[in-house]
Amino acid sequence: MENETAKQQDHDLFHKVQDGDMVAFNDLVNRYRDRLMNVIGRMLPSREESEDIVQETFLRVYQHRSSFDFKHCFSTWLYTIALNLARNELRKKKKYRFVDIADIQNTEIEVSVEAKIPSDLGPALNEAIGSLPEKYKTAFLLRDIEEMPYEEVARVLSVPLGTVKSRVNRARSILRDKLRPRMEERNALSKGALLPVSLL
């Protein structure tokens, strides 16, 4: 119900935006700017670049406001634009791709969640997230940081639902392996426990 309410609020605002209401547009910017920065800021190497991408995203939204299809979620459209811009920026910086057997197998097994994470592991966690291959990082950020439903993540990334689940689980597994030594040092991780995913 909450998601449907948010979707309707977005649509109500965007109808006004299409009529040229800049107050409604500013309301949408304020509603999503920090959330976009939370994702894009973890994908790009500098805050300045991330801010540029977020600003460009809202510019594109306004420029193409008449093309929005109200059958879809505004947030899905917005994140799709932002992630495409961020990917284009990343492609300028690197020319390689990551391939993982987990994507080929398309596993949908959920990684179990346990344990508490000490607050001072925040910087280590951010560093670990930053080191994830792009496709795993993006899926993880949308699902576990932004708490998007798997189905919406699949629409944003234009991949099958099973692929989203596979990528998220792979990201969780990588993060667990990277952070396990730190957590064991702090006696924060009992034998066999896994990394919690609702960390931020």
Do 29 and 77 belong together in one domain? yes
For 75-89, b where at least 16 C-beta lie within 10 A, e where not — what string? bbbbbbbbbebbeeb
- Are 180 and 133 within one domain? yes
Q: Is residue 195 part of a domain?
A: no
Distance CA 138, CA 98 (A): 13
Distance CA 28, CA 12 (A): 10
Q: Per-residue pLDDT for the chain (200 aa), expressed as one digit of tens each?
A: 557 888 899 999 999 999 999 999 999 999 999 999 999 998 888 899 999 999 999 999 999 999 999 999 999 999 999 999 998 888 876 644 444 444 434 444 444 333 344 445 567 778 888 889 999 999 999 999 898 999 999 999 999 999 999 999 999 999 998 888 776 665 544 444 444 444 43
- Tokens standing for residue 108: 């949908």
Range of the domain at 53: 2-93
Task: Using the 3D structure, point to which of 71, 93, 115 is the last residue of a domain.
Answer: 93
How far is Cα 49 from Cα 116, in angstroms, rounded to an integer? 33
Q: Which is nearest to 41 in space by CA: 156, 138, 173?
A: 138
Is the model's pTM score more than 0.75? no
* CATH number where 38 lies: 1.10.1740.10
